Amino acid sequence: MIQRRIRVAGIIVIILFAVFVFRLAQLQIIHGEQYTRMAESNRTENRPIPAPRGKIYMQQEGEPVIAVSNRLAYTASVIPANIPRGETELISERLARLLGMEAGEISSRIHAGQRALPVRIMRNLTPLQLLKLEENMDQLPGVLIERIPIRDNIYGSTAAHLLGYVGEISQSELTRLYSQGYRSGDLIGKSGLERHYESFLGGVDGVRQIEVDSHRMEITTISKQDPQPGADIYLNIDLDLQLEAERILKEHIRRLQEKAEEDEELMGGPTGGAFLAMEPDSGKILAMASYPTFDLNLFAGGIDRDELQKLQNNFHRPFLDRTLQIAPAPGSTFKVITGMAVLKDLGLNPGDQSVHCGGEFSLGPQTWKCWLEGGHGRLSFYEALAHSCNVAFYRWGHELHHQGNNTIQEVAREFGFGVLSGIDLPGERAGVVPDRDWKSANLKGPWVPGDSVNLAIGQGDLQSTPLQLVNMINTLANGGYLMQPYLVDRVIGEEGEVLWEGQPQVIRKPDVSSTILNQMRQSLQEVTESGTGTRGFGDFVPEVAGKTGTAQTVPGQPNHGWYAGYVPADEPEISFVVFLEHGNDSGFAVDVGREFLEYYFPQAEEVSEE
Amino acid sequence: MRYNKKVFRQVDLTLPLLAFFLVCIGLIMISSATQPSPDAWQTGHFQRQLVSAIIGFLLMLVVTFFDYRLLRDYYLFFYGGALVLLILNLMRGGEGGVAAQRSMSIGPLAFQPSELTKMGLIILLSYILSQEKDEISATALGKTLLATVLPFLLIIRNDLGTSLVFGFILLVMLYIAGFPGLYLLGASGGAVLGVMGWILVHLQWGIWIPLKEYQLMRIIVFWNPGMDPFGYGYHLIQSKIALGSGNITGKGIFAGTQSRLNFIPEQHTDFIFSVLGEEMGFIGAVVLLILYLLLLLKGFQVSFQAKDRFGSLLAAGITGMFGFHIFVNIGMTMGILPVTGLPLPFVSYGGSALTTNLLAIGILLNIYMRRQKIYF
């Protein structure tokens, strides 16, 4: 009996083994390939290698000097696919505790990210954060610490507006740029040059195929495709001029703000300002300062939300680039344009005392006052411009209105007002040159003589950016060529090849005779020699040519202060504009220009002292 | 001890050699599975297993010097002693971790009393059933049931696999002893259906069940591993990937990615067959299966040729115990049986099991040496 049963047991065992061999064959031979693929995808992962962005250089004594570079920083990232199912909230909470963030924000970013790509939670970890993270890695499945390049802005807040900052790609940018290889989590230029030259600066990410263990921890690199770094950009900006312009602008504005605390007439003092310097013959921007500014390095690791809120809610709006993102009334600086229209259409001899200022100008029930109480008396064209007599320009504006011409507007447009300058920066405003059509379209009203009167002195609905103003004055400086302003001299690829070169470009030669141009240049010298610029520039060598401007703003708010000029008056080397937002008086703008020129022409002071 | 030259002339080296090959394969697979600490020696698994193997082979040798009938004379001592150790260990463990409850320390050696309990049970059952003829009396049946249920219930909460081993030993030995096969088939089929029903009722209405959450989940995911691919289904899926990706010739020893990168759970113990299948492929796995088949057939031969009924039953019990471990373990790694956590005899890491199994081989040798002469 026992032996029979043992035989049966033996047969059962043999059958079972046959089943096992069959099952093995099924797994290993029939489905072998499929399981091999599964094992491969188990152990491998593709991780992007972020490309370092191109560097940005400025100039210093003719040599390139680095202004924006990269540095490697530790970044806490999450690969959503590697988080054990259902633990996203738990991991988010742990990360939030370690990094001092909000768990909700982390988890929503994890959910929004692509499953297989790292979602960057916090860039630029502090050593303490890094340490805490590393100590707790075993409790953070799916989290990885990457070492990736972030922006290093060497001069911090210098030229912050024009250089711009980078940030994580937004959903709408991603939709637009996906085909160009951008992926979620990538950094992309958000403002300034970083944004405008993104296609050069961006580079192409590499990819690394790595072997991971069951905890998705990296074991080795299997293969690697190196990233292609972004191209380097060389600016026309002169670092020393830029630093100096920013310092001077800041000091003057701060001083005026302090002064305003005691002097009620200043009505709080300037709320900001801008300074632009341009090379007359080329249109190269040499310095471009906007105040207040902000520290670009706050953005290097993705800005802290509180910090961002603070900046955005700041009353003085530090993010606003006051060189081209605002378009206030240019005030009396616009008399340069009106003046040329007058010389063009009214045919008066600028030396003749052909106009009288009695302190006010009336038109029906309306009365406009000259800034000088009691009036300027009889004036020539030169004198009227030098002293910036409003009444003279009211009269001329009114006369031009009666001729039925739009000469002021035409000249203004010829000199670049009312349209984008086309500078290589995003966010520029076009400003407004108001005329009959504009007014009926935008204000639903007829163009009345008063409109022409206001326009003549650069008020009313006229709007211009400081950039447009420097371009206008520059056109006089170089003898009549409206130049294309530009910041980037060249873009150099990885192997030194020139990918793009900025060339001086004439936008147009305004339709104004050389006689009129020379008369206007003469007038601008008169401003310095005997007019509103005398106090500031009268003793300055070389001679300065330029025009002051005090632009009225909304009632109850202090005026804007303007100055636009070029030096030396006969052979200009540099054109510049100063804008003090609510700076009260053009005199303060002149002070800023004076200090800048003292820096730019260091020998000047010595000469004048002798 | 009476030295009997004639007995030793009957020594057959098949069993020790098979055990030796299996242990060697086990040692290789253990050192592969305890990577990726780059130096496989660092973890110390290999060394500890080697020591256990040496002890085991020595015990095997020692056992051959005693007549196996000694076990029959002291059956109560072996069974009772093992049971006492088991109870002591469970009391000591309290509500601690599973591992703490499964092994106990005697001097420097950690030992799992449950391994000894298996042997104790086989000895006791062999004794009881050897007192019967082919017709098994109700009293004997009751005794065997009692002898099995005691350790079965003691351990089921902590070690479902081992408790099933007790049940299976009873089943095999009753069958070999002549208990009607249909009854046994019906009883075991009924037990399986009963357990399944119990689980369903438990899931549906939360009726109490003597299983822990993880034990329950293992059984549930066996039906549907995709249900929880990152949790309890993970083991099963990763094990199948490991085996399947081994293809015909395997990825090479120490080169399995599933094992080296720790995708296979418990890869040096319960899932060592997956490591072998991945690294040595279909060929390696079939070779191992053949070694096991030979071992089991040899075990049955020992039972077949044993001098007395006690020896036959003893050998059949031991062989059945091996067989159950082998089938449940390999079946689990291949996804045709649920995960129960039984080690693979001679191959899985684990000193208690290895020494006990080698000791059991010694007993088989012992029985075979004293077999009845068959003349052709």
Give per-residue pLDDT as tens, A311-359: 888 888 999 999 999 999 999 999 999 999 999 999 899 999 999 999 9
Tokens of A156: 């911090």
Chain A contact for B177 (CB, 8 A cutoff): yes
Amino acid in position A281: D
- Residue A557 and residue A584 in contact, taking contact as beta carbons nearer than 8 Å: no
- Residue A168 and residue A185 in contact, taking contact as beta carbons nearer than 8 Å: yes
Question: Is A42's CB within 8 Å of B293's CB?
Answer: no
ipTM beyond cut 0.90: yes
Chain B contact for A358 (CB, 8 A cutoff): no
Half-sphere exposure of A24 (CA within 13 A, CB side): 28
- A228/B352 Cα distance (integer angstroms): 59
Residue B334 scores a pLDDT above 50: yes
Chain A contact for B47 (CB, 8 A cutoff): no
- What spatial distance separates the first Cα and last Cα of chain B, rounded to whole Å? 32
- How many Cβ atoms from other residues are within 10 Å of residue A250's Cβ? 16
User: Which positions 38-67 of A are in contact with B (Cβ < 8 Å)?
Assistant: 38-40, 42-43
Chain B contact for A14 (CB, 8 A cutoff): yes
Tell me the mean pLDDT in the region A8-33. Answer: 95
pLDDT at B288: 97
Residue A67 scores a pLDDT above 80: yes
Question: Is B330's CB within 8 Å of A211's CB?
Answer: no
Question: Is A32's CB within 8 Å of B246's CB?
Answer: yes
Tokens of B40: 């496989």
- How many Cβ atoms from other residues are within 10 Å of residue A572's Cβ? 24
Tell me the mean pLDDT in the region A533-541. Answer: 91
- Residue A188 and residue A169 in contact, taking contact as beta carbons nearer than 8 Å: yes
- A551/A558 Cα distance (integer angstroms): 9
Residue from B89, B93, B154, B99 nearest B121 by CA: B154
pLDDT at B236: 85
- C-alpha pair distances (Å), A345 with each of A342, A402, A456, A517, B223: 5, 12, 14, 14, 96
Question: Is B257's CB within 8 Å of A211's CB?
Answer: yes
A43: nearest CB among B175, B257, B316: B257
Most confident of A341-355, A476-490, B76-90: A476-490
- C-alpha pair distances (Å), A89 with each of A135, A137, A537: 20, 16, 67
- C-alpha pair distances (Å), A74 with each of A144, A190, A195, A270, B269: 10, 22, 24, 41, 39
What are the backbone angles phi and psi of residue B217, rounded to the nearest 5°? -60, -40
Query: pLDDT tens across A394-421, in order?
Result: 999 999 999 888 999 999 999 999 999 9
Interface test with B, best of A4, A28, A220 (most B CBs within 10 A): A28
- C-alpha pair distances (Å), A394 with each of A368, A382, A401: 8, 15, 10
- How many Cβ atoms from other residues are within 10 Å of residue B255's Cβ? 13
Interface size between A and B, measured as CB pairs under 8 A? 135
- A280/A278 Cα distance (integer angstroms): 6
pLDDT at B98: 44
Tell me the mean pLDDT in the region A494-499. Answer: 92
- A280/A23 Cα distance (integer angstroms): 85
Residue A85 scores a pLDDT above 70: yes
Do strands A574-581 and A272-278 pair parallel, antiparallel, or not at all (unpaired)?
antiparallel
pLDDT at A219: 84
Per-residue burial over A538-551, b = 16 or more CB atoms within 10 Å of its CB, e = otherwise? eebbbebbbbbbbb
Tell me the mean pLDDT in the region A485-493. Answer: 96
| Helix axes of A390-403 and A335-345: crossing angle, nearest 10 degrees | 50
- Residue A559 and residue A553 in contact, taking contact as beta carbons nearer than 8 Å: yes
Q: Range with the lowest mean pLDDT among A260-269, A493-502, B97-106, B351-360?
A: B97-106
Question: Is A32's CB within 8 Å of B248's CB?
Answer: yes
pLDDT greater at residue A520 or residue A554: A520
What are the backbone angles phi and psi of residue A569, rounded to the nearest 5°? -60, -35
Query: pLDDT tens across A569-582, in order?
Result: 999 999 999 999 99
Chain A contact for B88 (CB, 8 A cutoff): no
Tell me the mean pLDDT in the region A450-468. Answer: 95
3-class secondary structure for A539-564? CCCCCCEEEEEEECCCCCCCCEEEEE
- A245/A539 Cα distance (integer angstroms): 21
B247: nearest CB among A2, A13, A32: A32
B241: nearest CB among A10, A25, A38: A38
Residue B118 scores a pLDDT above 60: yes
pLDDT at B356: 95
Where do the domains of chain A lie, and which CATH numbers do they carry?
74-149 (3.90.1310.10), 237-609 (3.40.710.10)
- B30/B24 Cα distance (integer angstroms): 10
Half-sphere exposure of A393 (CA within 13 A, CB side): 33
Which chain B residues touch A7 with a CB distance below 8 Å?
A: 304
Amino acid in position A442: N
pLDDT greater at residue A605 or residue A559: A559
Calculate ∠ Cα B125-B131-B134, nearest 5°. 95
- What spatial distance separates the first Cα and last Cα of chain A, rounded to whole Å? 135
pLDDT at B280: 96
pLDDT at B366: 93
- B114/A446 Cα distance (integer angstroms): 104
Q: CB within 8 A of A305, min separation 6: which ones? A: none
Which helix or strand (DSSP H or E) is residue A257 part of? helix A239-262
Largest CA distance in chain A: 144
Site of tokens 């047991």:
A9
Per-residue burial over B263-295, b = 16 or more CB atoms within 10 Å of its CB, e = otherwise? bbbbbbbbbbbbbbbbbbbbebbbebbebbbeb
DSSP symbols for A179-191: GGT--TT-EEE-S
Query: What single-letter DSSP state applies at residue A173?
Result: H
Burial of residue A132 (CB within 10 Å: 0-12, 13-18, 19+) is middle
- B368/B10 Cα distance (integer angstroms): 8
Which chain B residues touch A213 with a CB distance below 8 Å?
A: 36, 261-263
Residue A447 scores a pLDDT above 70: yes
User: Which positions 23-42 of A are in contact with B (Cβ < 8 Å)?
Assistant: 23-25, 27-29, 31-36, 38-40, 42
Residue A168 scores a pLDDT above 50: yes
3-state secondary structure of A472: helix
Q: CB within 8 A of A11, min separation 6: which ones? A: none
Residue from B69, B142, B277, B191 nearest A36 by CA: B277
What are the backbone angles phi and psi of residue A278, rounded to the nearest 5°? -135, 150
Residue B1 scores a pLDDT above 50: no
Distance to chain B for A321, nearest Cα, Å:
52
H-only helix segments in chain B: 5-8, 14-33, 45-64, 69-73, 75-93, 98-102, 113-130, 138-155, 160-177, 181-205, 213-223, 232-245, 257-260, 272-305, 309-333, 351-369
Which helix or strand (DSSP H or E) is residue A596 part of? helix A586-600
Binning pLDDT at 50, 70 and 90, where does residue A86 land?
Answer: confident
Interface test with A, best of B171, B239, B245, B309 (most A CBs within 10 A): B245
Query: pLDDT tens across B142-180, in order?
Result: 999 999 999 998 888 788 889 999 999 999 999 999 999
3-state secondary structure of B249: coil
Binning pLDDT at 50, 70 and 90, where does residue B36 land?
Answer: low
- B364/B316 Cα distance (integer angstroms): 9
Residue of A nearest to B320 (CA): A9
Tell me the mean pLDDT in the region A426-439. Answer: 94
Do strands A232-238 and A574-581 pair parallel, antiparallel, or not at all (unpaired)?
unpaired
pLDDT greater at residue B209 or residue A287: A287
- How many Cβ atoms from other residues are within 10 Å of residue A552's Cβ? 16
Interface test with A, best of B130, B185, B234, B257 (most A CBs within 10 A): B257
- Residue B28 and residue B46 in contact, taking contact as beta carbons nearer than 8 Å: no
Residue of A nearest to B261 (CA): A213
pLDDT at B105: 61
pLDDT at A609: 47
- A447/A454 Cα distance (integer angstroms): 12
User: Which positions 192-231 of B are in contact with A (Cβ < 8 Å)?
Assistant: 230-231
- A281/B162 Cα distance (integer angstroms): 94
Beta strand ranges found along A299-376 (DSSP E): 355-357, 360-363, 366-369
- A561/A322 Cα distance (integer angstroms): 13
Chain A contact for B65 (CB, 8 A cutoff): no
Chain B contact for A220 (CB, 8 A cutoff): no
Residue from A446, A429, A161 nearest A296 by CA: A161
Residue B375 scores a pLDDT above 80: no
A9: nearest CB among B178, B278, B300: B300
DSSP symbols for A97-158: HHHT--HHHHHHHHHHS-TTSPEEEESS--HHHHHHHHHTGGG-TTEEEEEEEEEEETTTTT
What pairs with residue A221 in β-bridges? A210
B282: nearest CB among A2, A24, A39: A24
